[in-house]
Amino acid sequence: MVKLPYRQQKLEKVMDQEGLADEEKRMRRSQHARKETEFLRLKRTRLGLEDFESLKVIGRGAFGEVRLVQKKDTGHVYAMKILRKADMLEKEQVGHIRAERDILVEADSLWVVKMFYSFQDKMNLYLIMEFLPGGDMMTLLMKKDTLSEEATQFYIAETVLAIDSIHQLGFIHRDIKPDNLLLDSRGHVKLSDFGLCTGLKRAHRTEFYKNLNHSLPSDLTFQNMNSKRKAETWKRNRRQLAFSTVGTPDYIAPEVFMQNGYNKLCDWWSLGVIMYEMLIGYPPFCSETPQETYRKVMNWRETLIFPPEVPISEKAKDLILRQEPTFCSCVSVFCCEEEHRIGAVGVEEIKANPFFEGVDYDHIRERPAAIPIEIKSIDDTSNFDEFPDSDILTPTAAPEADLKNKDWVFVNYTYKRFEGLTARGAIPSYMKSSKR
């Protein structure tokens, strides 16, 4: 008996599960065969920048930008992440952008943004990702003063499942923050790294903060602000920090700054900080400077407090922070010592927390999102900030000599995803009822 190829085995299994009639199975097999033929053709074709039309800049960072693009032969819309090779080399980011590419190749989950292609030219690296028109959680939080506990429960529950999907692959995200929580067309969460300052940026280098730990006075003015003024100041500075090489250490677990190593539990600390921000209006360690934020993170036992003027439930507080000093290992929360942190015995421990009472994890992506997303067309960018155009796609001769001898570090960067192939000019199912 001839063994079927893996993708065809997968198709047969799905069709059996769906209980399809023989005629429907025949049509599916025929469609699959055409797709395989097209994939073989695509693998032999060199994909390049000329295959895409740039529509708009939708994100910008220290090392590159994200553009909304349309593939010329199919009309499909994607988010193109562009990273300058010279910057990757200068900032020692090569290993981290390679890791990101490899993770996106391996991850095949509803909870992770999908990468369809990756390629390069002399100047840049390109990641062709699915375009998620809902924007990111950072933008949503900047539009709102706070989120309700019901909305917070929804987004945190979905992010728990998203983070767990990465952990199951053996990866630690290490950079969980609102910037990296994207929202699809229906308002559901997908995990990504669209902050553009990926990997070991300066915000993650312990010495950057340790060297300044005693050099600057504490921002007493900020500490004495009420919650409303803190939220206003935070939002005013937040966007600038997101797009800088320094970044912000607000969401980073204290053990990540230490020299003793860390594990996947650091991602659950970050989620606790995001939950606090959703409910209070700003993260617990926010300050006027990243250095002061670092000091607050490292002294979290004294600095992580709930402002009395912003009332939230005890269930919410008890998931973020242990309310009374205790050494009981049965009391697990997001923001605490690593050895007592919730999630240490598995994700089920988090899902069973009283704060998530009533959450149907098996069908959460099928329910309406807590905050609906309005999408008017397949290229709707209304949920993104406005950015001026740039010259990142304009060839420049200056760095080419330097890059020529170092281009070997980007070998085998190219990738094409089989699942990215659909009918020519097809529109994603979620857009079929939308008016252009």
- Indicate the residue type of 97: I
Residues 190 and 220 in one domain: yes
pLDDT of the residue at 40: 59
- The confidence band for 432, taking pLDDT boundaries of 50, 70 and 90, is very low
Residues of the domain holding 127: 49-133+376-431
Distance (Å, whole) CA 138 – CA 195: 10
Domain boundary among 306, 341, 363: 363
Predicted confidence (pLDDT) at residue 431 exceeds the cutoff of 70:
no
Identify the CATH number of the domain in which residue 409 sits. Answer: 3.30.200.20
Identify the CATH number of the domain in which residue 168 sits. Answer: 1.10.510.10
- Helix residue spans in 107-201 (DSSP H): 137-143, 149-168
Distance (Å, whole) CA 361 – CA 174: 24
Residues 278 and 195 in one domain: yes
Residues 35 and 55 in one domain: no
For the residues 293-297, what does the mean pLDDT come to? 94
Residues 337 and 421 in one domain: no
Percent of the chain with pLDDT over 90: 43
Helix (DSSP H) and strand (DSSP E) numbers for the chain: 16, 8
CA 84 to mean position of chain CA atoms? 20
pLDDT tens per residue, range 179-222: 999 999 999 999 997 333 333 333 344 444 455 444 444 554 55
106 found inside a domain: yes
Predicted confidence (pLDDT) at residue 178 exceeds the cutoff of 90:
yes
pLDDT of the residue at 356: 98
Predicted confidence (pLDDT) at residue 396 exceeds the cutoff of 70:
no
158 found inside a domain: yes
DSSP state at residue 360: -
Q: Is 72 helix (H, G, I), strand (E, B) or coil?
A: coil
Instruction: Please tell me which residue, 427 or 406, carries the higher pLDDT value.
Output: 406
Predicted confidence (pLDDT) at residue 406 exceeds the cutoff of 70:
no
Task: Please state, rounded to an integer, the average pLDDT across all residues of the chain.
Answer: 79
Distance (Å, whole) CA 273 – CA 145: 16
Residue list for the binding site for ATP: 81
Number of domains composing the chain: 3
> Which residues, in sequence order, are bridge partners of residue 267?
none
Distance (Å, whole) CA 203 – CA 180: 15
Instruction: Please tell me which residue, 315 or 233, carries the higher pLDDT value.
Output: 315
Domain boundary among 329, 363, 397: 363
Residues 275 and 187 in one domain: yes
- The confidence band for 320, taking pLDDT boundaries of 50, 70 and 90, is very high
CA 99 to mean position of chain CA atoms? 14
E strand or H helix that includes residue 274: helix 265-280
CA 301 to mean position of chain CA atoms? 28
Q: Is 349 helix (H, G, I), strand (E, B) or coil?
A: helix
Residues 103 and 250 in one domain: no
pLDDT of the residue at 47: 87
154 found inside a domain: yes
pLDDT tens per residue, range 116-133: 998 988 889 899 999 999
pLDDT tens per residue, range 35-89: 666 555 555 567 899 999 999 999 887 778 999 999 998 899 999 999 888 887 7
Residues 288 and 399 in one domain: no
E strand or H helix that includes residue 126: strand 124-130
Residues 224 and 256 in one domain: yes
13 found inside a domain: yes
- The confidence band for 380, taking pLDDT boundaries of 50, 70 and 90, is very high
427 found inside a domain: yes
The two tokens of residue 216 are 């600057």
pLDDT tens per residue, range 6-22: 667 777 788 888 788 88
pLDDT of the residue at 221: 54
Percent of the chain with pLDDT over 70: 72
371 found inside a domain: no
pLDDT of the residue at 352: 97
Residues 249 and 272 in one domain: yes
pLDDT tens per residue, range 96-155: 677 677 777 777 889 999 989 989 888 898 999 999 999 999 999 999 989 999 999 999
3-state secondary structure 418-430: HHHCCCCCCCCHH
E strand or H helix that includes residue 206: helix 206-210
Instruction: Please tell me which residue, 331 or 66, carries the higher pLDDT value.
Output: 66
pLDDT of the residue at 257: 87
Catalytic residue IDs: 175
pLDDT of the residue at 180: 92
Residues 122 and 242 in one domain: no
pLDDT tens per residue, range 252-278: 999 988 867 889 999 999 999 999 999
Phi, psi values for residue 20, rounded to 5°: -70, 150
Residues 156 and 268 in one domain: yes
436 found inside a domain: no
Distance (Å, whole) CA 211 – CA 358: 47
Residue list for the binding site: 81
pLDDT of the residue at 401: 46
Residues 102 and 148 in one domain: no
1 found inside a domain: no
Distance (Å, whole) CA 153 – CA 359: 8
| pTM listed for this prediction | 0.77
What is each CA distance from 27 to 15, 20, 21, 219, 294, in whole angstroms? Answer: 11, 11, 10, 67, 58
E strand or H helix that includes residue 273: helix 265-280
- Tell which residue, 147, 399, 435, has the closest CA to residue 279: 147
Distance (Å, whole) CA 127 – CA 82: 7
pLDDT of the residue at 68: 97
pLDDT of the residue at 186: 95
What is each CA distance from 170 to 103, 160, 195, 271, 303, in whole angstroms? Answer: 10, 15, 22, 18, 32
